[in-house]
């Protein structure tokens, strides 16, 4: 490992995809279900990689190839070794909903005072976490590492790699039930970050309003609490929702480019982390005001006479419920929801989709439902479409005008292909 780490210090940029080769990088030949990076080892060198880490024993004599038994394990071991050299705060983030938005808000706030390295996009798995750690350089003063999971035990594995000094769980809800099997397994998996931090007597940032999270930390005392409870050090109220969210914390107004009352707790979290590291409320407010959501996470888009809330990066029962409650609370006179199937729910899929339909009916939300599950269970009581093409045909003949439109569903339904006709 010493030899490989010295090469990493010489060539500190890591690549795993020949389409993104940079001159002088270290290329790791990862394998997946449908690809084998080892077949691209020589191509990576030709494209400019300085060294290649591969499992191809035929390349053992090549001076620029490092042959190992398991490339992924080697990548993770290199990341752990690099992490052990660092003497900076590393903030670990996991949760069912809001991980990426919260991560980006924290980064935005902390960047007002520190040089921050954080997880890019949703690189939050057994490959993404090592890549994030290996992107930390000598200039980094604080690192933020997002950790995702869809199977039991994954957060414990990622904590072993990232070794956070601070951490938080945004929330624990019903998602990826196909992989987890039960909500109890989700709780067990997510709270592994608490268990790691408690073992190392580290700081936990906690939403003090969340009963599940409070139970997970038990009597642990190294807590920074946020949320509207008497014990919280960071509390706030919603001052605007039209549709941009406004928040007041103490006597400071936070104007945002976020939609959804559910983002209040994400903002309180980011501000609590900022305050802990010495970022003042006025500076945090400036940072939050500058933040623009991306990748269809509660993004606002003006399309003709309509205001579209694009919130279809992903969906599960808890995030769908929060988005619909926010739609109900919006003051707009004409609102409509276009909702896609929620995937990876396993045996509770029909039950959870029925709950969404029932909520819309009970709250008199005008809704269009798209996807095989919604179409199958809701055809008698709701306006459903099996495919996006069917929905687009309907919209072309029945254009929506002067409305606020929530678009929410799982990525696999491809709601980005919806066409809302303009007049």
**Whether the predicted pLDDT of 32 surpasses 70:** yes
In this predicted model, what pLDDT tens digit does every residue of 383-421 receive, in sequence order?
A: 999 999 999 999 999 999 999 999 999 999 999 999 998
pLDDT in tens, 96-148: 988 999 999 999 999 999 999 999 977 899 999 999 999 999 999 999 999 99
- Any alpha helices (H) in 89-182, and if so which ranges? 99-110, 128-134, 154-162, 177-180
Same fold? 2-69, 86-290: no
What superfamily does domain 2-69 belong to in CATH?
MurE/MurF, N-terminal domain (3.40.1390.10)
Per-residue confidence at 302, pLDDT binned at 50, 70, 90? confident
How many other CB atoms sit within 10 Å of the CB of residue 221? 8
86-290 placed in CATH 3.40.1190.10: yes
Homologous superfamily assigned to 299-417: Mur ligase, C-terminal domain (3.90.190.20)
List, as own/partner pairs, every contact residues 346-352 make where C-beta atoms lie below 8 angstroms and the sequence separation is at least 24, other chains included.
346/177, 346/178, 346/181, 347/177, 348/174, 348/177, 349/373, 350/377, 352/174, 352/317
Domain ranges in the chain? 2-69, 86-290, 299-417
Number of helices (H), then strands (E), in the chain: 16, 19
pTM: 0.89
| Per-residue pLDDT tens over the stretch 205-228 | 999 999 999 999 999 999 999 999
Per-residue pLDDT of 224-279, as tens digits, reads 999 999 999 999 999 998 889 999 999 999 999 998 899 999 999 999 999 999 99
- Whole-angstrom Cα distance, residue 412 to residue 211? 32
Of 417, 309, 319, 308, nearest to 371 (Cα)?
Answer: 417
Q: Whole-number mean pLDDT of the chain?
A: 94
Q: How far is CA 216 from CA 10, 86, 107, 221, in A?
A: 43, 29, 25, 12
Band of pLDDT at residue 295, cut at 50, 70 and 90: confident
């Amino acid at each position: 490992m010493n030899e490989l780490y010295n090469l990493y210090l010489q060539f500190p940029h890591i690549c795993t995809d020949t389409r993104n080769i940079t001159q002088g990088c270290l290329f790791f030949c990862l394998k997946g279900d449908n690809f084998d990076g080892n077949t691209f080892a020589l191509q990576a060198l030709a494209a400019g990689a300085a060294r290649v880490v591969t499992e191809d024993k035929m390349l053992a004599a090549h001076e620029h190839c490092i042959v190992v038994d398991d490339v992924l394990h080697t990548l993770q071991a290199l990341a752990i070794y690099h992490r052990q050299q660092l003497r900076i705060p590393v903030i670990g983030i996991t949760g069912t909903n809001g991980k990426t938005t919260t991560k980006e808000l924290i980064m935005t706030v902390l960047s007002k005072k520190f040089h921050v390295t954080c997880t890019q996009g949703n690189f939050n798995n057994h490959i993404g976490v090592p890549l994030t750690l290996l992107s930390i350089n000598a200039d980094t003063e604080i690192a933020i590492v997002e950790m995702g999971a869809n199977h039991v035990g994954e957060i414990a594995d990622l904590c072993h790699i990232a070794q956070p000094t601070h951490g938080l769980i945004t929330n624990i809800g019903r998602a990826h039930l196909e992989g987890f099997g039960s909500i109890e397994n989700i709780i067990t998996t997510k709270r592994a970050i608490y268990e790691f931090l408690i073992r190392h007597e580290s700081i936990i940032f906690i939403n003090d309003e969340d009963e599940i999270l409070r139970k997970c930390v038990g009597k642990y005392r190294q807590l920074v609490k946020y949320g509207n409870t008497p014990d919280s050090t960071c509390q706030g109220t919603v001052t605007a929702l039209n549709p941009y969210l406004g928040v007041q914390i103490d006597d400071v107004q936070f104007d945002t480019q976020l939609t959804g009352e559910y983002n209040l707790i994400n903002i309180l979290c980011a501000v609590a982390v900022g305050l802990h590291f010495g970022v003042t409320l006025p500076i945090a407010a400036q940072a939050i005001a500058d933040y623009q959501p991306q990748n269809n996470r509660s993004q606002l888009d003006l399309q003709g006479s309509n205001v579209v809330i694009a919130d279809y990066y992903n969906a599960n029962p808890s995030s769908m419920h929060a988005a619909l409650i926010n739609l109900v609370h919006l003051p707009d006179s004409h609102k409509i929801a276009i909702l896609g199937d929620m995937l990876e729910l396993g045996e509770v899929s029909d039950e959870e989709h029925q709950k969404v339909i029932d909520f819309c009916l009970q709250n008199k939300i005008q809704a269009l439902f798209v996807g095989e599950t919604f179409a199958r269970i809701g055809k008698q009581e709701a306006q459903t479409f099996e495919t996006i093409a069917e929905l687009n045909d309907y919209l072309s003949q029945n254009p929506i005008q002067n409305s606020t439109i929530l678009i929410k569903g799982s990525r696999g339904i491809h709601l980005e292909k919806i066409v809302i006709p303009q007049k």
